[in-house]
Structure 1
Amino acid sequence: MGPLDILSSPVTWVVTIVSLLYILYKYATSTFDYFSDQGIRGPKPIPIFGNLWGIWKANIPEYDVALVKQYGKVFGYFDGLLPNLWITDADMIKAICVKDFEHFVDRRSFGIQTKVMRKWMMLMKGQEWKDIRSSVTPAFTTGKIKRMSGLIRDCVSNLSDQMSRLTESDGKIDSKLVFSAYTMDVIARCAFGLKIDNLGSKDDQFMKNAAYILNPPANKSPIVLLPFVYPKLLSSLSTYAERLLITKEHRFFFKLLEDVLKDRSQSKEKFHDFIELADEAISDFTKEVDGKTVPMWSREEIDEIIMAQSTIFMLAGFDTTATTLTNTCFQLARNPEIQEKLYESIVTKMEDYDEVCHDMVQDMPYLEMVIQEVLRYYPPLTRVERECTKDYSYDNGRIQIKEGQMVTIPAFALHHMEEYYPDPEKFDPERWTPENKAKRNPYAYLAFGIGPRSCIGMRFALEEMKIAICAVVQKFRFFPVEETPEKLRFENGLLAVLQPVQAVVGIELRQ
């Protein structure tokens, strides 16, 4: 039998195909023994996709809770071939996010190099992230937020007027829609210095574009798996990735910010908004070069950083805050005794103030307790992720985490664990009294993340929520109607922020 006969033989083709399939299978499962070799259990992965198949149609809060109940506080998971250690052990959370942070400096990123997006703080890595975080932090001090609180109060006035109209016409509100208009109004004024008159209307491009960026249709389809299964795809196909990532919705805000920055450069007017405060803080950041102190960045670089942080400020702040206010409204409607206790605390505090303001909301313990319990019950971001930046071992080497691997903390599941929160399905602000907080491990609460990479805008978000809640609860009473569900549910899909379903409540003016 000659060489050509061997090559054309059916046996040769069968052996070749079987061999190739075997090689492909070995590659597609090459990492799947990583956790089992360490004695760490977890859900069984499938070739190529790991544990991600079907995630685009799952209900993430329920999915995560079920995983933690089945596999415990530490288990292995696979994002495609990438090992991902899931943890809800509070001591380990402290070690990874705080104590040994130098091993977990980065969040998940996909090598995005597109202008503006490459400077998003949430995607940045290493020293560059540290420098920009340090430069932007002064824009979120208590004093700077107080400067923006006047803008917030104007937005609350619009919110109150809208609620009054709905009280007279319908007697009920779609709270997510109403609060989304409020939070976008706040973002537009406090981040961009813009007043928008048609927020929430059919022609409102601000909310439409922001909602699309946060929750695109791809998040509910298998397409969402691509950056997880092939994490280097976006960086290796940068031109095509830019077309995929930078949609017309992104360009709407990028163009808006370019125009705002151009106008600001030609004006001496003071706006007391985020762009102005961030410009001041970033421009003041310096470095040493040849023994001389010089600005860290050029004017062009500063403008790009401002644009990046402003868009993140909008995207991170718009929907997370609207969702939290929606969830607060729902729980107050379902728990009238809590609503009335909150109302009484507001009325008592108002005896010392002419209006709801920054100074008033700083010392309202029960308001703080209600908000903390809402964020415990419904953390808007269901997962917190860290990427290992250098090899790490925990518990005397029992658990090994290699550079490049992911660690996921399922915040929603963590917040609903009986070990940390007895009777976790009960909405109970009393969990947050000083005495009860002292009994609980503080690393079992991740509403704003934790450690050096926690939410930089936490103080601003709390200010925005506190002023709004005080103003509306003082004037309105919320109650269940026929459309109000017994338990608030959220949309399926791998969504960036929890999206409440059917968050309709009744509303009436207080007498």
Structure 2
Amino acid sequence: MDAFEFLSSPVTWAITVVSCLYILYKYVTSQFNYFVDQGIPGPKPVPFFGNMWGLWKKNTAEYDVSLVKKYGKIFGYFDGPNPNLWITDLEMIKAIFVKDFDHFVDRRAFKFKSNIVRKWLTVLEGQEWKDVRSSVTPAFTTGKIKKMSLLINDCVHKLCDSIAAQTEGKINAKLIFNAFTMDVIARCAFGLKIDNLGDKDDPFIQNAQIIFNPPSVKTPLILLPFTYPKLFSLFGESLFVSKELKFFFQLLQNMLQERSQSKEKYHDFIEVADEAISAFTKDVGGKKVAMWSREEIEEIVMGQSTLFMLAGFDTTATTLTSTCFELARNPDIQDKLYDSIITKLEDHDDICHEFIQDMPYLEQVILEVLRFYPAAVRTERQCTKDISYDNGRINIKAGVIITVPIYALHHMEEYYPNPEKFDPERWTPENKAKRSPYSFMAFGVGPRNCVGMRFAMEEMKMAVCTLVKKFRFFTVKETPEKLQFDDGFQSVLQPIHAILGIESR
């Protein structure tokens, strides 16, 4: 048999295919003993998909709760072939997110090559993340937020006018708050005032909704960046950096070009972020010089502005929807909140930044909503340097992902007795002091927590105060007994069927 006959033989091809499949199988299962060898429990993985097969058909929040109940506070999981340590143990959370943060600086590594996206705080790593985070933080000081609160207040009044115009006496809360939070982002992050925001054909809402709840979350395609991130970087990035996302990129580019020729002050995020990032310096030969060029500054500003939209649109709309749902379901809580607002108005002309600074019951209600319905279902870190815990019993090597299932954590009986009861009294100063701060992670914890937390709280407090002052929420026949969320591999809870009755006070 000559060489050509040998190479073209069906037997040769069969052996080659089988050998390649075997090598691939060994590669994708090579780490499947990682947790077993350490005595760490967890679901049994399957080749190629680990424990992720079928997630696009599940309800993510309910799935996470079931895993924690079955396997405990610390267990192993596999994102495809990659080990992922899940934790709801508070001492471990404290160690990984705060005490040993230098070993867990990065989030899951999604390598983006596209301009703007590659500068998002959520994907930056190491020293570059530290530099950009430090430069952006001054944009969220109390003073800067106070200036942006004037823009938020305008949006709140516009929201109230829109609700007052409803003639049926009921609203689809998620749709109403989608329009409101996008209005806030248009004003505060993009510097735009859009009169028809929320209309059926409005491009802002249309493009944003596709970004936040794309069809891929209910298909196996959503698993690619989690199971095989290198393949995602090579072939999948174009699916994420979609035409809908590019719509907002173009909007920002046009905005920055117009502003470069204007001296007008806007007091919005673009302006304050540009000022803060431009002021960030480095030492070169003993002299302080700008850290970045003008072109780099514009890319960082655009990156954080679009991230502002991504982080603030759906999460805030979901939280406001959940808040109004619980107020409708618990009229005694709604009445108590209303009374506290009316009492506070004796010392103020109207609801404003100063008004909401000392509203303890309002804060209790919002914190309980964020406990019961944390908008972000999970949070993650990636180990950058090997480290051990529990006297060497738990070894975490560089590259391993750490996941905290926030929704499951917030619904654990050990940390929150009777967790399925909505109870703002959990957040009185006395009750809060009895509980570890690491049992609440709606905004994350540690140095890499949510940089926009103060802004989000400002927006939600102003909206809830004004709405409860002007309207009463109540249940109607379409209102479900329990707030329901869409299935699919969702990173943010997606309320469905949130129909509420509403009337003017």
TM over 0.5: yes
Match of 2:83 in 1: 83
Match of 1:202 in 2: 200
Distance 1:190 1:5 in 2: 71
Q: Helix, strand or coil for the counterpart of 1:358? A: coil
1:378 corresponds to 2:376: no
Match of 1:290 in 2: 285
Question: 1:278-323 CA distances to partner (integer Å, 9 max, x unpaired)?
Answer: 0110111000011111000011100000000000001111110010
Match of 1:100 in 2: 100
Question: 1:359-401 CA distances to partner (integer Å, 9 max, x unpaired)?
Answer: 0101000000000000000000000000101111111111111
Shift of the alpha carbon at 1:219?
1.4
1:29 corresponds to 2:29: yes
Q: Which aligned pairs between 1:109-148 and structure 2 lie closer than 5 A?
A: 109-148=109-148
| Matched length | 505
Match of 2:230 in 1: 232
Match of 2:484 in 1: 489
Match of 1:60 in 2: 60
Change (3 A) 1:9 1:472: closer
1:218 corresponds to 2:213: no
Shift of the alpha carbon at 1:243?
3.2
Structure 2's unaligned 5+ residue stretches are none
Distance 1:141 1:8 in 2: 70
1:97–1:451: 8 Å Cα contact kept in structure 2? Answer: yes
Residue in structure 2 matching 1:193, options 191, 194, 205: 191
Distance 2:7 2:200 in 1: 66
Match of 1:421 in 2: 416
Distance 2:75 2:45 in 1: 13
2:116–2:302: 8 Å Cα contact kept in structure 1? Answer: yes
Question: 1:123-163 CA distances to partner (integer Å, 9 max, x unpaired)?
Answer: 11000000000000000001110011111111111011111
1:41 corresponds to 2:28: no
Distance 1:387 1:24 in 2: 25
Which has the larger displacement, 12-21 or 344-353? 12-21
1:112–1:234: 8 Å Cα contact kept in structure 2? Answer: no
Relative to the length of structure 1, the TM-score reads: 0.96
Structure 1's unaligned 5+ residue stretches are none
Q: Which amino acid aligns with 1:498?
A: L
Q: Which amino acid aligns with 2:486?
A: E
Q: Which amino acid aligns with 1:474?
A: K
Distance 2:113 2:341 in 1: 48
Distance 2:491 2:34 in 1: 28
Q: Helix, strand or coil for the counterpart of 1:380? A: coil
Match of 1:350 in 2: 345
Q: Which aligned pairs between 1:278-357 and structure 2 lie closer than 5 A?
A: 278-357=273-352
2:76–2:85: 8 Å Cα contact kept in structure 1? Answer: yes
Match of 1:179 in 2: 177
1:151 corresponds to 2:151: yes
Distance 1:45 1:241 in 2: 24
Shift of the alpha carbon at 1:229?
1.9
Relative to the length of structure 2, the TM-score reads: 0.97
Percent identity for Structure 1 against Structure 2:
69
1:508 corresponds to 2:503: yes
2:50–2:80: 8 Å Cα contact kept in structure 1? Answer: yes
Distance 1:388 1:106 in 2: 7
Distance 1:192 1:19 in 2: 55
Distance 2:184 2:10 in 1: 70
Question: 1:412-440 CA distances to partner (integer Å, 9 max, x unpaired)?
Answer: 00000000000000000000011111111
Shift of the alpha carbon at 1:496?
2.8
Match of 1:388 in 2: 383
